[in-house]
Amino acid sequence: MFENFVVPNHLKPSDPRFGVGPSLIPLSSLDALRKTGNSLLGTSHRKDAVRKLVKEVQDGLRTYFKIPAGHEIILGNGGATQLWDMLALGMVKKSSLHFVCGEFSEKWYKAHKAVPWIKAEAIRVEYGQGINPYEKANFDMICCTLNETSTGVMLSEIPKLQGEDVLLAMDATSGAGQIKVDFNKVDFYYFSPQKVFASEGGLFIAIVSPKAIKRIEAINQDKTRYIPESMRLIHAVENGKANQTYNTPSISTLFFMNEQIKIMNTLSEDTVISMAKEKAALMYGWAEEKTYLSPYIKESKFRSEAVVTIDVDAKYSVDDLAKVLRAQGVAIDIEGYRKLGRNQFRIALFHNVTKEDLKKLTEIISLAIETEK
């Protein structure tokens, strides 16, 4: 299907990378890295050049998110996936409650469930639905996912926890930077930078409240709990204070993230968010207007403003169309999340994906389907 479809030149987007991660890194960031010559890559992460870069990242995020005083910004290797295990070992006392609405929140739950001393419980909704977190007695950590990348569901509300010894942890991997969060309500907010922050994988960044730091310190003192040295959260906390990571980071990853933070700081978080909202309105509006399309997420308050998922009438194969668009270098990585098994487009609304390019993509897809009819 669609094998004879040729994308007209005037509809070709400026960049084919519409994928939800790794995401579009601006070519200007690649040029900027090249310009650092021999002054950055290949130098020690314990010395000034890299530490200055880490500090710039931390300061830039502080400005962008308007982070409350007292919160630490920490970084470490391994990305969000590794952090799930680190959090289980180093931040849960006895019990964690997980709000599961897709594959990533499920994986986080399973990581905790596998630890023999943790009582982990999942509150699930069917995929395609959203759920906001809430507190429940006898759980010392509430785990939620700001933006479920697999399904395109975002949180619409975050509770202010009442329990003195309860922490709220949030996987913000694909929402960070583009979905507003009140940092006074979140104790451990983390993300990998290969989404809105337009860098590469392998790193995690976390914004950590004083209450969470206390918990991490207390668990670190517990001599009865074995935690592999490389998995100790305390190392990230201590190294973060010194603008470092516990072990050697990818310097280019830090560099690209810093470039992106600078780009977004020239606009401010509010502007970036309002641009994301405009793009979301364009995409969901299109999906509602066309008879052969429908937004996968039915309840509009849960429709993601970072990752849009659109079901397509079974008559038109998304995989076939995606293959044709990829082959023509027009759009890459727009298929739905494999495991969902739906005839679905999943498209990033990340900051570097422009509204103009998204508009063109909608016109390309409409043209392809309407000429196939």
Ligand X SMILES: Cc1ncc(COP(=O)(O)O)c(C=O)c1O
Residue ranges binding ligand X (CB under 6 A): 21, 79-81, 104, 145, 149, 171, 173-174, 192, 201
Is residue 172 within 8 Å of residue 146, measured between CB atoms? yes
Q: Measured from the CB atom, is 145 or 352 closer to ligand X?
A: 145
Q: Which residue is nearest to ligand X (CB)?
A: 79
Specify the 3-state DSSP secondary structure of 136: coil
Q: Measured from the CB atom, is 73 or 369 closer to ligand X?
A: 73
The span from the CA of 2 to the CA of 369, in Å, is 8
Q: Measured from the CB atom, is 80 or 179 closer to ligand X?
A: 80
Q: Measured from the CB atom, is 13 or 152 closer to ligand X?
A: 152
The span from the CA of 21 to the CA of 344, in Å, is 17
Q: Measured from the CB atom, is 81 or 366 closer to ligand X?
A: 81
Q: Measured from the CB atom, is 111 or 369 closer to ligand X?
A: 111
Minimum distance from residue 214 beta carbon to ligand X (Å) = 25
Minimum distance from residue 47 beta carbon to ligand X (Å) = 27
Q: How far is Cα of residue 249 from the mean position of the Cα atoms in its chain?
A: 19
The span from the CA of 360 to the CA of 317, in Å, is 20
Minimum distance from residue 84 beta carbon to ligand X (Å) = 8
Q: Measured from the CB atom, is 152 or 240 closer to ligand X?
A: 152
Q: Measured from the CB atom, is 145 or 244 closer to ligand X?
A: 145
The span from the CA of 203 to the CA of 109, in Å, is 20
What are the Cα distances from residue 234, in Å, to 25, 117, 169, 223, 245?
Answer: 31, 20, 16, 14, 11
Is residue 187 within 8 Å of residue 249, measured between CB atoms? no
Minimum distance from residue 327 beta carbon to ligand X (Å) = 25
Respond yes or no on whether the N-terminal peptide bond of residue 22 is cis (omega within 30° of 0): yes
Please tell me what DSSP assigns to residue 303.
B
Q: Measured from the CB atom, is 23 or 258 closer to ligand X?
A: 23
The span from the CA of 335 to the CA of 323, in Å, is 9
Q: What is the dihedral of CA 92, 93, 95, 100, to 10 degrees?
A: -10
Q: Please state at what angle helix 79-90 crosses helix 233-241, rounded to 10 degrees.
A: 110
The span from the CA of 234 to the CA of 90, in Å, is 8
Minimum distance from residue 78 beta carbon to ligand X (Å) = 7
Q: Measured from the CB atom, is 147 or 362 closer to ligand X?
A: 147
Nearest residue to 135 via CA among 105, 95, 171: 95
The strand order across the sheet containing 293-295 reads 293-295, 307-312, 344-348
Minimum distance from residue 105 beta carbon to ligand X (Å) = 7
Minimum distance from residue 201 beta carbon to ligand X (Å) = 5
Minimum distance from residue 93 beta carbon to ligand X (Å) = 23
Q: How far is Cα of residue 306 from the mean position of the Cα atoms in its chain?
A: 9
Minimum distance from residue 203 beta carbon to ligand X (Å) = 8
Minimum distance from residue 21 beta carbon to ligand X (Å) = 5
